[in-house]
Amino acid sequence: MKSKGPGLGNLSSRFFAYVQLKKLEIVRTGEIAPILDITGSQERDLFRRLSDSGWICRLKRGVYLVPSRIPAGGKYSPGAVLILQKLMEEQKGKYQICGPTAFNFYGLDDQIPSVTYLYNNRISAKRSIGSLAFQLIKVADGRLGSVNAVRTRDMEII
């Protein structure tokens, strides 16, 4: 008999049932423990296991992006636009995509960059979020300049 691969346990199933019922996109450490009647340690372990196995995406310490539906194949892979939008909402920051990513988006270059570059007013770091790589470049508010909201090929507004 063939193994079906990693599945969701009882606690993980209860977690997804709750976040889908409440239509949550973001969950934070401390929010789920009282709902599922588990300890803080069990909650952190649940988030770590779900994140490590690809069921949810860790945006930053204690903040996780969750899918609206359980992902087919068990791997949740949100796009760079959604990750950046939610990360900057969490940081209460402004941002604009720049560098090779912007050149590709506007059709000025046909190479698809492996790193998404981002000017912002909150974080300066190189980060991997989900399966994507980001170079976050912190600049003063006045240096961000004029920012236009655009619709991506996936119909997301950035």
Decide: residue 18, CB within 10 A, 0-12 exposed, 13-18 middle, 19+ buried: middle
Which tens digit of pLDDT belongs to each residue from 33-86?
Answer: 999 999 999 999 999 999 999 999 999 999 999 999 988 888 999 999 899 999
| Distance, CA of 7 to CA of 73 (rounded, Å) | 10
Decide: residue 42, CB within 10 A, 0-12 exposed, 13-18 middle, 19+ buried: middle
Residue 86: predicted pLDDT: 96
Grade residue 156 by pLDDT with cuts at 50, 70 and 90: low
* pTM, rounded to two decimals: 0.83
Residue 5: predicted pLDDT: 43
Grade residue 4 by pLDDT with cuts at 50, 70 and 90: very low
Grade residue 158 by pLDDT with cuts at 50, 70 and 90: low
**Element holding 88 (H helix, E strand):** helix 80-91
Grade residue 6 by pLDDT with cuts at 50, 70 and 90: low
Q: Which amino acid is at 15?
A: F
Residue 2: predicted pLDDT: 41
Structural domains of the chain, with CATH: 10-74 (1.10.10.10), 80-143 (no CATH)
